[in-house]
Amino acid sequence: MNNRHQRRLERRQRKKARAAEADSPLHAASSLFQSGQVEQAGNILVKFLNDQPDNFDALNLLGIIRATTGNPDAAFSLFEKAATVRPGDPGVHVNLARVCEDLGRPGDAIGHYRRWLEIEPGNEACLIKLGNLYKDKNDLTAAIGCFERALEVNPGNALVHSNLGNVLEEQGLIEEAMTSHHRALDIDPGNPLLHSNLGITLKTLGKLDEAIEAHERAVEIDSGIASIHNNLGYALEVHGRLNDAEKSYLKALAIDPEYAEALYNLGNALTSLGRLKEAEDSYRKTLAVQPEYAEAHRNLVNLIKHSEYDEDIKAMEEAYSVPSISDEQKMHLSFGLGKAFEDIHLYDKAFRFFKKGNSLKRRGYNYSINDQGKVFENLKEVFDSELFAQHLGSGCEDETPIFILGMPRSGTTLVEQILASHPQVYGAGELETVNQYATSYLTKGNGIEFPESIRQLNGVDFQHLGAEYVKNCRNHSPDIRFITDKMPGNFKYIGLIKLLLPNAKVIHCRRDPADTCLSIFKNYFTGTHEYSYDLVELGHYFNLYRGLMDHWHRVLPGFVHDVQYEDIVADQEEQTRALLKYCDLEWDDACLKFYKTDRAIKTASAEQVRRPIYKDSVQLWKRYETELSPLLEILKN
């Protein structure tokens, strides 16, 4: 056979093969699928697989069809069988990973992405997918490793630099996070999402003005992205600009009316503004969009006084029973259910949920009450009578600040609301300034940390820091005579306050120890309260606090004014008169009607101080006396 005849024969054979392929069911199904006739394509493939059950291409294509038509379980089975037929094919592992994500099985998705990576080491897309999944599972170290490997493959990927920055921030590596965000912006300065991510990290650093500027820059670049308006709103809310925050959340919702996070954040801002019915509506809209939004359940239940076993409680129980619910979601729901069952006087059931919520929260971090005890003893040792005698007359003489402090849930918000109802007092809420002095300015990183660093300061330093504190206060209100700072944890820094601001007024809120600790145990806190989620640790911490307050009274006699919560409840007018007298304020009837004062309140007590004095929580601990026995035993010491 000559070469020409051979080539002609080969051409005929290829043409015949193509014709046969075109007539094959697999080709027909593929063509139908590509033309949008998905159901018909699926029917052909089902019949085809009856004859050839191990055909990889048919299994894979039918799996894709099942996934796109909302049947992820069937898709998973098909992809899984395809993987047994051809285990070295990366595409089928990609498909398995994606369908596992759809099924809410992130661990299995990670396994298939890792298999993809074994087949194609260094695949950038796979590394990014893995990094995002690890981040969602809170495995931050693994997420960082994936993003760093992806950047080795492609160092010019701005979004990966930004994602790396987000994870580094979550791990507490803030400076490294800032570096990653700036690298991202160096590569792609016109990307609004990168500016917004930078703003989130700046907020974490406490640089709120810069954070707001970064988010506003993102909005300038593209005002049509809902998440950017939401992020700007949150930065504004933290800054205390609640009305501006509300506007940003509403802009986000104008773009995406079913944006659950923006609905939830709007509810929080409205709660702080005292617009409780609107806040309730916003939380309900959040749950209509996303019924499993656990924090919205918890915040909603805190706005409502339940009188019966109602639909809200049933909805929380239903969300709680979902098998795939995360521990964090279960924790928020536990606090919410505890509060709801307490409302309807089912105290045993309430405490079981409070205990579960606290247990889940406590599981998430390391904490040593013994180390905390050493911190308190160190404060007593440094801030002794000799130190105050040495620096008598030091500090800034301005009398603007009124510090309201004590244990959380001891009545600090109530006392501030009473004072802020007076026309000569501005309630600034919980200010971080004193704590920032202690943890940054007075902790230099040179081996000498606060409080030992106090010994290296002189009168000029104290005067400068005190004046700076007053300047920061005046940013909240330039004219009103007094400005309150009701950060409860400032009880640790009373000695520092005396050195910086000797003429400041310090109001110490006290409450029955068992009621204080119970109220702490019943509440989820957004700040740092590691001691509060275990009854034994909570009891020991309260005793440490008591001991430190005894120390301040001893070394600074007359500097701290004690106010007892139960006395205010028993005789509001008499205690209010005494409080105003201590603050050198004339009587004003508005202080008795504090619940009518229109001001932002950003604490767990925001709802309680919107109504008149009530006695429900006095001696409430007796309802839980048996369950609280480990705590009560410690409090006796």
What is the overall mean pLDDT for the chain?
A: 91
The answer to whether 131 touches 163, Cβ cutoff 8 Å, is yes
Residue 78, pLDDT > 80, answer yes
Q: Which two tokens stand for residue 300?
A: 């909603």
* CA R_g for the chain: 31
d(CA 507, CA 403): 6
Burial class of residue 177 (count of CB atoms within 10 Å of its CB; 0-12, 13-18, 19+): buried
Identity of the amino acid at 460: V
Instruction: Please give the pLDDT value at position 60.
Output: 87
The answer to whether 97 touches 112, Cβ cutoff 8 Å, is yes
Question: pLDDT category, 384, cuts 50, 70, 90?
Answer: very high
**Which of 11-25, 296-310, 347-361, 541-555 is predicted least confidently?**
11-25
d(CA 518, CA 512): 10
Question: pLDDT tens across 33-54, in order?
Answer: 888 888 888 888 888 888 888 9
H or E, element range at 439: none
Q: How far is CA 228 from CA 194, 221, 247, 253, 283, in A?
A: 10, 11, 13, 11, 21
Closest Cα partner for 486 from 600, 336, 375, 372? 600
The answer to whether 361 touches 527, Cβ cutoff 8 Å, is no
Instruction: Please give the pLDDT value at position 25.
Output: 83
Cα 447 to its chain centre, rounded Å, is: 32
Does the bond joining 401 to the residue before it have cis omega, within 30 degrees of 0? no
Question: pLDDT category, 533, cuts 50, 70, 90?
Answer: very high
What value, to the nearest 5°, has the Cα angle with vertex 110 and ends 133 and 198?
A: 20
pTM of the full predicted structure?
A: 0.80
Tokens 């492609």 belong to 154
Tokens 């500027």 belong to 213
Residue 152, pLDDT > 70, answer yes
